[in-house]
Chains A and B, each alone.
Chain A
Amino acid sequence: MGHTATAQAGSGGLTATEHRLANGLRVVLSEDHLTPVAAVCLWYDVGSRHEVKGRTGLAHLFEHLMFQGSASVPGNGHFELVQGAGGSLNGTTSFERTNYFETMPAHQLELALWLEADRMGSLLTALDDESMENQRDVVKNERRQRYDNVPYGTAFEKLTALAYPEGHPYHHTPIGSMADLDAASLEDARAFFRTYYAPNNAVLSVVGAIDPVQTLAWVEKYFGSIPGHDGKQPPRDGTLPEIMGRELREEIVEEVPARALMAAYRLPHDGTRECDAADVALTVLGGGESSRLHNRLVRRDQSAVAAGFGMLRLAGAPSLGWLDVKTSSGVEVPAIEAAVDEELARFAAEGPTAEEMERAQAQLEREWLDRLSTVAGRADELCRFAVLFGDPQLALTAVGRVLDITAEEVQAVAAARLRPDNRAVLVYEPLPAEAGEADEADVNDENEGAEQ
């Protein structure tokens, strides 16, 4: 840890206090008066992993319904009131959780708490067929826009389905299938709410220019009377053997602009030292423009337009190391694959150099500083560690753990995990298509979740 960028290794002197209401709601508060804003973040411990066969996409569809009004808030009032108060808000759904968040001018904090409590306690009094049918159509259009109508848009869904076996809770992604979205009924939505939307299945964090005593009093006032209940079954076990045992492979021939090689490697669960070591390994191999894969494929071989690794950290199932290579024109996938395998094998045999460790850890540290640079980012991380690992304080020390990883640990996890018999591979082969011209404008982003 001799090369950290800040004295406190990223936590910047931040602190957080923890509280629990009688109904089981866990509350995390963190005070910071640098800017007059306050972030509210509410994580419900439910995601697409809790969905059952035939009802994929229900957690995310339900997240949309949470913005359709509750007992004291008609129609689009959740959006109108927050935005009218100078705040911003949204919700997202992933495999492991559903989160809702507002960032408010500090003097409007109480409104956000009142709104979140109202829908936690009374959503079903407002939920009706009309909003269900409407949001079903909106979500189907979200699926078309983000996945079905863009090249390689369904790659994530396809690789996930390969990487986690049929019947595994992470076999399907949060967006769900069109058929299941069509099949979801109002009664399914009601049952989902009754099962998962309870104060004792949630963590609330409030971060920013707050008075902790006053904030806690408001939380007690608005959330305190919502009854807790224990209708929730534990999620299906997501544990899998450490190694897939053989390479799983699918080749897609469709209208894409170039050949592509994508792969998902099975990695350790989030929350372990091995997972942090894997993060460093993937950064050395495929993060940024000085990584081994970028230098090999984009700079030296010039066989790829872009090449890199990403990581999907998961707590309830093995994490995934995400390889994405788009080929240069005329290059065949086997050439890319051979080069990738050669680089991974060399890395497993030799491990990272001291300079590579320094670079990767400096990059990961900056990413943490970025995430903690806003009150909303901090609120989300506090909830994440509270929900997934039972301790929000771990958010404030996470960067220190990444910086504590040694080269030996990085090499060990690479040797154990980044192997051909531990990956699902997706190869894209384009249909013959005409060439065209260049163009402009912004790129669409894509992430593992699904937003309101």
Chain B
Amino acid sequence: MSDTAAVTMTFHPQPQAGEARPWAFPAPERGSLPNGLTVLRCHRPGQQVVAVEVNLAAPLDAEPQGLDGVATIMARALSEGTDKHSAEEFAAELERCGATLDAHADHPGLRVSLEVPASRLHKALGLVAEALRAPAFADSEVDRLVRNRLDEIPHELANPQRRAAKELSRQLFPPTLRMSRPRQGTEETVARIDSTAVRAFYEAHVRPATATAVVVGDLTGIDLDAVLGDTLGAWTGNFAEPLPVPPVTADDTGRVVIVDRPGAVQTQLLIGRIGPDRHERVWAAQVLGTYCLGGTLTSRLDKVLREEKGYTYGVRAFGQVLRSTADGKGASMLAISGSVDTPNTGPALEDLWKVLRTLAEGGLTDAERDVAVQNLVGVAPLKFETAAAVAGTLADQVEQELPDDYQAQLYAQLAQTGTVEATSAVLAAFPVDRLVTVLVGDAAQIEEPVRALGIGEVTVVTN
């Protein structure tokens, strides 16, 4: 049936691209302060909100036995009062700058992130320095943070996506490895944390000599050296080396674990294993191949699961660095994630495995590879428009012991990666018989159909 609007509109051929304008991932200027703090700075004209990231070499592996979560509580306690401000005063002073401050503990270390309008950078950075230099860690504040954290735990468990992530870590890693356990601790371990434990962790692992500050934004008219000298420059500490961390190992024997959630209308899927980190040469090819498999809704997985079958709102394949170290002991999580409606859980998994097998048999096409490269490389100027995006990536590079021009090099490598390399990287990343499948859903409805697929032994655990 033709439509009147279509008949009357004048059609034109698809336009050709104009001439590309040069863009490069910004190169930061690297330096250090007398107290040993490493500083990366990057001027981004027009970015009026300045982003500051501070990396602290306080990995979760450094948490004392039985005190999982102490890094998280310490991170939160940094902004709950100092030698000059009470907890309430500190929050008020920061917000008076129009600033946001976030502190977060993860496997490689702790990250403090500040965003503030450029004109108030000096004052806000002064507050951040105060939090790093002289946190109060008052008993009452730490106790409150512990109780608050305990109250958060049931909320996280109730979220199917987070419940799946927790189960996958427990399945993949040996119990001796910190990565097998929740980043922010369990009810049992968090309940043991007090201000003494928090202060001990701070004193052992937080010091300028093992920290890096990244400052990105429109720095016009800001004497950054003076600002830094006044603020983070006043922070002192010893020059001890950071703690060595153990290598990451995992058991990726193909198997299925169902976390039973009776009555769930959808099944949350998380299918994963571990793979190389960003120091491996294969990383660029793996990024490319993984994008072709499940980077967007026109990738192989969604082409079938979403756009043909309608089983899902979207399934994504990704590689996420867990810890990346120059000595090669790091690893990334390689995973496929999404949710499918309960009755179609079996058929969706069957199709998902079919997509993986078809890929193994026929490989990627040149056209797929080309589109993926054009997207991954082409979106760079969009992706790094804001100061926060640039600062985050620079800080990640530092945390992962990568050179400051890593991201720029990655784009060059992506452009040079061929179809064959991308195919073999994605096949090595997602071998059909070495995937641990976690399903959070209604076991009574999905267990039998999943068993019938023969994708590994199936066990059911209670929620």
Contacts and interface: CB of A to CB of B under 8 A. Distances in A.
B378 A85 contact: yes
B18 A366 contact: no
Given A133-B310, A365-B117, 18 more contacts: A35-B385, A84-B375, A86-B380, A105-B381, A107-B19, A109-B18, A124-B1, A124-B6, A136-B310, A141-B266, A144-B339, A149-B265, A225-B9, A290-B88, A299-B87, A302-B147, A366-B98, A439-B153
Contact of B23 (A35, A83, A135, A222): A35
A290 B379 CA distance: 37
Contacts of A124: 1, 3, 5-6
A145 B313 contact: yes
B5 A355 contact: no
A363 interface: yes
Contact of B88 (A135, A295, A302): A295
B315 to A, nearest CB: 11
Contacts of B413: none
Interface string A421-452: 00000000000011111111111100000000
A322 to B, nearest CB: 18
Contact of A362 (B96, B118, B162, B309): B96
Nearest to A294: B91
Nearest to B15: A110
A87 B158 CA distance: 36
28 contacts: A35-B381, A35-B385, A71-B11, A81-B14, A86-B374, A87-B378, A105-B20, A107-B17, A110-B15, A122-B5, A122-B11, A134-B308, A135-B310, A136-B310, A145-B339, A226-B9, A227-B4, A288-B95, A290-B92, A305-B152, A362-B120, A369-B117, A436-B153, A438-B153, A439-B163, A439-B182, A440-B156, A441-B164
A219 to B, nearest CB: 12
B5 A141 contact: no
A137 B47 contact: no
B382 A438 contact: no
Nearest to A12: B48
Given A111-B14, A373-B48, A439 B91 contact: no
A114 interface: yes
Interface string A359-385: 100110110011001110000000000
B248 to A, nearest CB: 15
Contacts of A295: 88
Given A141-B340, A362-B95, A72 B310 contact: no
B8 A257 contact: no
Interface stretch (B183-191, B273-281, B402-410): B183-191
B148 A298 contact: yes
A87 B382 contact: yes
A343 interface: no
Contacts, number: 309
Given A76-B298, A149-B160, A329-B150, A140 B341 contact: yes
A443 B185 contact: no
A162 interface: no
A442 B98 CA distance: 25
B84 interface: no
A52 interface: no
Most buried by A among B91, B118, B186: B91
B5 A221 contact: no
B374 A141 contact: no
Contacts of A247: none
Contact of B8 (A225, A255, A258): A225
A302 B144 contact: yes
B463 A299 contact: no
A167 interface: no
Interface string B93-127: 01111111000000000000001111110000000
A404 interface: no
Interface string A188-224: 0010001000000000000001000000001001101
Contacts of A337: none
Nearest to A289: B91
Contact of A443 (B3, B159, B160): B159
Interface string B165-178: 11001000000000
A373 B339 contact: no
Most buried by B among A36, A37, A150: A37
A326 interface: yes
A438 B310 contact: no
Contacts of A194: 3, 5
A134 B312 CA distance: 10
Contacts of B162: 439-441, 443
A329 B144 CA distance: 13
B183 to A, nearest CB: 4
Nearest to B14: A114
B243 interface: no
Contacts of B381: 35-37, 105
A441 B165 contact: yes
A121 B313 contact: no
Interface string A139-181: 1111011101111000000000000000000000000000000
A11 B348 CA distance: 49
Contact of B49 (A35, A328, A369): A369
A318 to B, nearest CB: 28
Interface string B13-47: 01101111111000000000000000000000111
| 10 smallest beta-carbon distances between A and B, as pairs | A86-B378, A137-B310, A439-B166, A362-B98, A5-B117, A441-B165, A121-B9, A257-B154, A36-B21, A107-B18
A233 interface: no
Nearest to B313: A142
A438 B22 CA distance: 46
B378 A258 contact: no
A58 B106 CA distance: 42
Contacts of B251: none
A134 to B, nearest CB: 5
B91 A290 contact: yes
A133 B309 CA distance: 10
A229 B19 CA distance: 37
A72 B313 CA distance: 26
A438 B156 contact: yes
